[in-house]
Chains A and B, each alone.
Chain A
Amino acid sequence: MTQSQEETFVKGRAGADIEIRHASHSYGPTLVVDDITFSADAGEIVTLLGPSGSGKTTLLRMIAGFVPARRGSILVGGSDVTALPVHRRNIGMVFQNYALFPHLNVRDNIAYPLARAKVRRAARPSIVAEALDAVRLPGVEERMPSQLSGGQQQRIALARAIVNRPRLVLMDEPLGALDRRLRESLQVEIVRIAREFGLTVVNVTHDQEEAFTISDKIAVLSHGKLLQYGPPEDLFRAPGSVEVADFLGESNVLHGVVELGREGHRLRRGDDLVLLTDQHVRSAGLVPGQDVVVVVRSWSARLVPLEDARTQRGRSWVRARIAAVLFTGDSRKIVLHSQQGETLSVRYTIDAEIPGVQGDEVAVQWDPSLGVVTSARTSPQEGDR
């Protein structure tokens, strides 16, 4: 490889766009990845978010090529890589346990992909140094991985994953082994480095906070199915299903039957007033008599005295009794029991005043447009629409 080619190799390439089409995989009769389709642009960070067993790791391994796609295809930069062996897919990988080679020092670890790509031996040290600069750990070339802290090791792993500017960087719970503070600072680092080098990243996590922090797009997975795919804000504002809403943050799930009242569409819930906006009715195609679910985020709901709730117009509320007020470090969580027997929760900042104490009966009130409405009987797949 000539000097200028090496330059191109190092500087010239950025991440490629990626497209997953109807990808499926099964272990025995169980579909662990079930007909998943989405795409991301070059330079985007996509997070596969879901609980364990949701198929997110299997999907990542399909993209990497460790697990074959039983059906469907995977396209990177417009070309189909489904049948391509792992070593020819040009990917960088970051693992929860760092996966640094314990018998190689930092330089040889980072130079590993360069050696595989036959970059001249003499050219490697400067490229390695550059990668170390990028992860802000210059000068540790001679150290062995075991001499570095967890956070440092993950930075080295990051440097190794990006050193040859792969078309795709795959991260499998990259921050899972680190403590909270380190996790937060590395989240920022990952975004910075990805932007700086134009990397396309597919990240797997079960931590919704991490997903929101670093992602351009989030794919929410459950039981092998893609529940919803889109930018974090969209998902947060308009979760397509109860499961998505539930997974994207603490929320309250309220069941009821649609009826047409004086105020327009609402849930039939005795004393409570759960309003459905025209937007809800239109987008979910609601008709009276239908069983639906309204999801309200704990942060979106407030507590007000019952008499105030009854007099205020245009706001939804549910009557509930305060069961506990919990201090959770950075916020306060109020746990309540509704008349219908549901357990509800409302979040307040630490310095906010809470209108009530344990045992008080209050109204949990919210702006109807902040509630998410889905049909109670729809499957997650249909809820995706």
Chain B
Amino acid sequence: MSGRDSGVAEVTDLAAVGIRRAGRPGIDFWTLLGTPAMLVVLVAFGVPLFMVVYKSATDPGLVNYTDVMGDPVFRKSLFKTIEIAVAATLAALLLGYPYAYVMARSGRWMRSFLLVALMVSFWTSLLIRTFAWQVLLQNTGVINTELKRLGLIDTPLPIIRNEFAALVGMTQMLAPFLILAVYALIRAIPPELEQAAMGMGARRSTMFRTVVLPLSMPGVAAGCVLVFVLALGFYITPQVLGGPSERMVGQSIAEAVHAFVRPGLACAMAVILLLLVGLVLAATARFMRLSDILKMGSMSE
């Protein structure tokens, strides 16, 4: 690993080193350094999490769960949420993986350009990006207006207020997470491995399938899980870009808190969503040890 521009990979390396060393018996720098952070995580995430679960069952009672599951709109939005999250994850993977690969394997200038492009978009407010997409996609938006002006279409293309638009927006919001996760892993694969494979008779596609893909799999898994989990919680982007059918669970939660002022109900919904996330992580863990995801980062040493 070289170069300052691979900050993400370095962080992963560092984390991997820390975790590996922490695994050893005895005390070292990383254990010491990590302990307060672990405690903060425990206090900052564990306690609220417990409160959410507790409130869902007691405020006013388990009726929250029967209310939630009895609501056909919620059930529908739950399935829609999963569907959209899966689709967004796949789209982020299809677009993000090649991006990450090109970024990892291109020269210094190209890599910097791609990274900056990624970061600028990453750091722009989610709301601003959502409305920017609206300006692009709506019937009187840039795309439809231009296509009409060029005489290619008579009526506006249906690219707003539907699942397509919601997915475009969400993919753009979420792909950076996947790109960074995969990028870190691919950067850690020495280019010599690819050269060795091709020298030994593998065409580029075979080399990719037999070397790069398996070695970047932990990053793909980490990125996909991250994107999927984040997608489950989205609601502003699908609400603005999608139609009313693209209703996500997040919207129901917001409604329960802001409009009905029934935090218990919202907590119940959150717990259901959380169980879903747990299920996904458990399924991932079946195919891949979570530690692998971290271990790979240190391969470049």
Contact, chains A and B (beta carbon distance below 8 A): yes
B202 proximal to A (CB < 8 A):
yes
> Which residue of B is nearest A89, CB measured?
B199
Which of A66, A88, A99 gathers most chain B CB within 10 Å? A99
Contact segment of B4-12, B54-62, B187-195: B187-195
> Which residue of A is nearest B193, CB measured?
A99
A-B residue pairs, 9 tightest by C-beta: A116-B201, A113-B200, A99-B192, A93-B199, A99-B196, A86-B198, A95-B192, A87-B203, A91-B199
CB distance from A195 to the nearest CB of B (A): 22
Which of B190, B197, B207 gathers most chain A CB within 10 Å? B197
CB distance from A60 to the nearest CB of B (A): 11
- Interface size on B, as a range, is 20 to 34
Please, what's the 1-or-0 string for B199-211, where 1 marks a CB less than 8 Å from any CB in chain A? 1111110110011
From known contacts A102-B215, A102-B299, A103-B215, infer whether A90 and B192 are also in contact, taking CB-CB under 8 Å.
no
Subset of 24 A-B contacts with CB under 8 Å: A66-B195, A86-B198, A87-B201, A87-B202, A87-B203, A87-B204, A87-B207, A90-B201, A91-B200, A93-B199, A95-B196, A97-B190, A99-B196, A101-B197, A102-B215, A102-B299, A103-B214, A112-B200, A112-B202, A116-B201, A116-B202, A117-B201, A164-B201, A170-B199
Please, what's the 1-or-0 string for A81-107, where 1 marks a CB less than 8 Å from any CB in chain B? 000011111111101010101110000
Bound CA–CA A86/B111 (angstroms): 25
In contact, B198 and A87 (Cβ under 8 angstroms)? yes
Which one, B193, B195, B201, contacts A101 given CB within 8 A?
B193
State which residues 53-97 of A face B: CB under 8 Å: 64-66, 85-93, 95, 97
Which of B204, B210, B215 gathers most chain A CB within 10 Å? B210
In contact, A86 and B199 (Cβ under 8 angstroms)? yes
CB distance from A144 to the nearest CB of B (A): 12
Bound CA–CA A113/B200 (angstroms): 5
Q: Interface size of A by Cβ–Cβ distance < 8 Å?
A: 27
CB distance from A115 to the nearest CB of B (A): 8
In contact, B197 and A112 (Cβ under 8 angstroms)? yes
Q: Which of chain B's residues have a CB closer than 8 A to the CB of A87? A: 198-204, 206-207
Bound CA–CA A95/B194 (angstroms): 12
Bound CA–CA A88/B203 (angstroms): 8
Query: Would you call the interface of chain B mostly helix, strand, loop, or mixed?
Result: helix
A160 proximal to B (CB < 8 A):
yes
State which residues 107-153 of A face B: CB under 8 Å: 112-113, 116-117
CB distance from A204 to the nearest CB of B (A): 13
> Which residue of A is nearest B299, CB measured?
A102
State which residues 194-242 of B face A: CB under 8 Å: 195-204, 206-207, 210-211, 214-215
From known contacts A90-B201, A92-B200, A103-B214, infer whether A64 and B195 are also in contact, taking CB-CB under 8 Å.
yes
In contact, A92 and B203 (Cβ under 8 angstroms)? no
CB distance from B283 to the nearest CB of A (A): 22
Bound CA–CA A103/B218 (angstroms): 12
Q: Which of chain A's residues have a CB closer than 8 A to the CB of B214? A: 103
Please, what's the 1-or-0 string for B151-193, where 1 marks a CB less than 8 Å from any CB in chain A? 0000000000000000000000000000000000000001011
CB distance from B250 to the nearest CB of A (A): 38
In contact, A93 and B193 (Cβ under 8 angstroms)? no
Q: Which of chain A's residues have a CB closer than 8 A to the CB of B199? A: 64, 86-87, 89, 91-93, 170
CB distance from A161 to the nearest CB of B (A): 8
CB distance from B272 to the nearest CB of A (A): 37
CB distance from A69 to the nearest CB of B (A): 17
> Which residue of B is nearest A85, CB measured?
B203
CB distance from B52 to the nearest CB of A (A): 39
From known contacts A101-B211, A102-B299, A103-B214, infer whether A113 and B201 are also in contact, taking CB-CB under 8 Å.
yes
Bound CA–CA A352/B200 (angstroms): 51
> Which residue of B is nearest A93, CB measured?
B199
Q: Which of chain B's residues have a CB closer than 8 A to the CB of A86? A: 195, 198-199
> Which residue of A is nearest B206, CB measured?
A116
> Which residue of A is nearest B214, CB measured?
A103
In contact, A97 and B192 (Cβ under 8 angstroms)? yes
CB distance from B93 to the nearest CB of A (A): 20
Q: Which of chain A's residues have a CB closer than 8 A to the CB of B195? A: 64, 66, 86, 93, 95, 99
> Which residue of B is nearest A103, CB measured?
B214
> Which residue of B is nearest A112, CB measured?
B200
Bound CA–CA A116/B206 (angstroms): 9
Bound CA–CA A64/B200 (angstroms): 10
Which of A112, A117, A160 gathers most chain B CB within 10 Å? A112
CB distance from A350 to the nearest CB of B (A): 39
Bound CA–CA A375/B201 (angstroms): 48
Q: Which of chain B's residues have a CB closer than 8 A to the CB of A95? A: 192, 195-196
> Which residue of A is nearest B189, CB measured?
A102
CB distance from A307 to the nearest CB of B (A): 59
Q: Which of chain A's residues have a CB closer than 8 A to the CB of B210? A: 101, 112
Bound CA–CA A161/B214 (angstroms): 22
CB distance from A214 to the nearest CB of B (A): 20
Bound CA–CA A103/B215 (angstroms): 7
Given contacts A86-B195, A87-B207, 19 further A-B contacts (CB under 8 A): A66-B198, A87-B203, A91-B199, A92-B199, A93-B195, A93-B199, A95-B195, A99-B192, A99-B196, A101-B211, A102-B299, A112-B197, A113-B200, A116-B200, A116-B202, A116-B206, A161-B200, A164-B201, A170-B199
> Which residue of B is nearest A170, CB measured?
B199
Bound CA–CA A103/B192 (angstroms): 15
Bound CA–CA A103/B201 (angstroms): 19
